[in-house]
Structure 1
Amino acid sequence: MTTSTSTGTQAIDRAVSLVATVVKADEPLTFPELHAEGGLAKSTTSRLLAALERTELLERNDDGAYVAGPLFWLYAIRHDPWDELVRIAGPTMEQIGDDTRETVNLSVTRGDRVVQVAQVDSTYMLGTKDWTEADVPVHASALGKVMLAYGALDLPGRLEQLTPNTVTDPAELRRELAAVQRDGWASTIDELEIGLTGVAVPVYGVDGQVVAALGVSGPNTRLEERVDEVGRQLDERAQQLSGLLRRGTHKRGAA
């Protein structure tokens, strides 16, 4: 019993050490790097990493290197320094919901991802979905394209084909991102899901950098013909929100 307990504890210690090494690293770590760092047999390292992937504590990026897993992202969303931004943006999101009657999302970047940190549900039964825990590829969403266009994220090395309409040619995507900067908003139609339209705009912080993206999504039947109209509405609301952030008039107790 003592030996078994000791062995189990040792396995946990080794797994925790691998997680800590990955989380503390400045960049994704490859298997050889983790093997060398941990000083374990290759088979042991491989077995532990596989278990950590299964439990979503670690995952591999497009290059096969190890990064923090989905559980870390979920924790960051729920216990987040962006809580104040979410609070400030709440009234603006409600106004956009009233304007459009569609689902409204606020997103920020986490590593090489865009995560949705707040949502106002559509008033329609069709189109309501909780996106706050969804892992959405940045190149296939309007919110992600905003972050790419304004330099909050780098262009992914691999552009996954989610639907026949997903843009996977880097040159074409760069042209789209240039148009986002010109027009002030990004849009997607049938790129993330068939039948889904999204529109999003940037939100600026006190230093003039993009700190978030504000977006609306809904069925093509209601949004596809209204992309420019919704883009202008979003841009106006986002400018008001950005103005609050820049002026510092968003402190608790302020009108």
Structure 2
Amino acid sequence: MARSVAPNTGTQAIDRAALLVATVVRADEPLSFLDLHSESGLPRSTTSRLLTALERTELLERNSAGSYVAGPLFWLYATRHDPWEELVRLARPTLERIGTETGETVNLSVARGERVVQVAQVDSTYLLGTRDWTEVDVPAHCSALGKVLLAYGALAMPTGPLEQVTPSTITDPATLRRQLGQVVRRGYASTVDELEIGLTGIGAPVRGSGGEVIAALGVSGPNPRLEERLDEVGRLLSDRGEQLSGLLRRRTRKEGVA
């Protein structure tokens, strides 16, 4: 059903452009030109002219498939505030549930620039294994959470030499790319001794409203407790990540969560 627009006044063009922006931002997935033409009820020529102007002013942009998504100005605004506060609030029960199920340290991480940033943590129930990772700058290529963000394109592949943090750290870009392909195929990433000797990490993706990976959910702990449970914990994290992704999609529709 076409939405109402303002009568023919001097503000009509602004109201129509705002309608198109709001339609894109509130949508569960990227919208095509035909979607927007149908949703807005505007003439095709008007829709085309306004979309061109909105792209030019960076309020909207088109993805690789040619569909419309929120533009760079929205993301610039978000980076100047705390875009993850609501994500952390919604994810906290999931992190606590995983902590209860595994007994290990649980983290939620996002990409910020070229870095992996830990935005939430639930501590291990074991005395051995509890560590605060939220202040640690972790190279993406040697952490399970970082590999998730790299594998799904939330982080760009490093362009320079890969730092060798431990003797087990992968430093060959071709080897890393093959491993990232495996991450996508099986749905989770893992590391053993790559970030710290004796430390195992496992991570899985969390998706936003458009299906893009916006965060990584992970578990870490000593090798003796996790090294033989990679597949078991990986599947658990994948399941919990999908559940959290579903919650984020529902809240996006209802409240406009990023």
| TM-score, L = length of structure 2 | 0.66
The gaps in structure 2 that reach 5 residues or longer are 1-77
Aligned position for 2:213: 210
> Pairwise CA RMSD of aligned residues?
1.7
Secondary structure (helix, strand or coil) at the match of 2:107 reads strand
The 5 Å alignment of 1:16-165 reads: 80-156=82-158, 157-165=160-168
Aligned position for 2:19: none
| Distance in structure 2 (CA, Å) of the matches to 1:202 and 1:244 | 14
Question: Shift in Å at residue 154 of structure 1?
Answer: 1.1
Extract structure 1 runs of 4+ deviating beyond 3 A: 249-252
Aligned position for 1:167: 170
Question: Shift in Å at residue 248 of structure 1?
Answer: 2.2
Say how many residue pairs are matched.
176
Contact 2:203/2:216, CA 8 A, preserved across alignment:
yes
1:193-245 CA deviation, whole Å, 9 max, x = no partner? 00000000000000110010000000001000001000000111110000011
2:237 equivalent to 1:224: no
The 5 Å alignment of 1:189-208 reads: 189-208=192-211
Against the structure 1 CA distance between its residues 251 and 220, is the aligned structure 2 distance closer, same or farther, given a 3 Å change threshold? farther
Contact 1:244/1:250, CA 8 A, preserved across alignment:
no
The gaps in structure 1 that reach 5 residues or longer are 1-75
Question: Shift in Å at residue 158 of structure 1?
Answer: 1.9
Question: Shift in Å at residue 250 of structure 1?
Answer: 8.9
> Which residue of 162, 183, 189 maps to 2:186?
183
Contact 1:121/1:128, CA 8 A, preserved across alignment:
yes
Contact 2:166/2:196, CA 8 A, preserved across alignment:
yes
Report which structure shows greater RCO (CA 8 Å, sep ≥6): 2
Secondary structure (helix, strand or coil) at the match of 1:217 reads strand
1:62-83 CA deviation, whole Å, 9 max, x = no partner? xxxxxxxxxxxxxx99x72200
Contact 1:116/1:131, CA 8 A, preserved across alignment:
yes
Aligned position for 1:247: 250
Against the structure 1 CA distance between its residues 211 and 249, is the aligned structure 2 distance closer, same or farther, given a 3 Å change threshold? closer
| Distance in structure 2 (CA, Å) of the matches to 1:250 and 1:143 | 27
Give the letter aligned to residue 155 of structure 1: M
Question: Shift in Å at residue 247 of structure 1?
Answer: 2.0
Give the letter aligned to residue 113 of structure 1: R
1:52-103 CA deviation, whole Å, 9 max, x = no partner? xxxxxxxxxxxxxxxxxxxxxxxx99x7220000000000000000110000
Aligned position for 1:70: none
Give the letter aligned to residue 104 of structure 1: V
Secondary structure (helix, strand or coil) at the match of 2:205 reads strand
1:7-39 CA deviation, whole Å, 9 max, x = no partner? xxxxxxxxxxxxxxxxxxxxxxxxxxxxxxxxx
| TM-score, L = length of structure 1 | 0.67
Percent identity, aligned pairs only? 72
Give the letter aligned to residue 100 of structure 1: T
| Distance in structure 1 (CA, Å) of the matches to 2:252 and 2:212 | 18
| Distance in structure 1 (CA, Å) of the matches to 2:94 and 2:146 | 20
Give the letter aligned to residue 209 of structure 1: E
Contact 2:209/2:252, CA 8 A, preserved across alignment:
no
Aligned position for 1:39: none
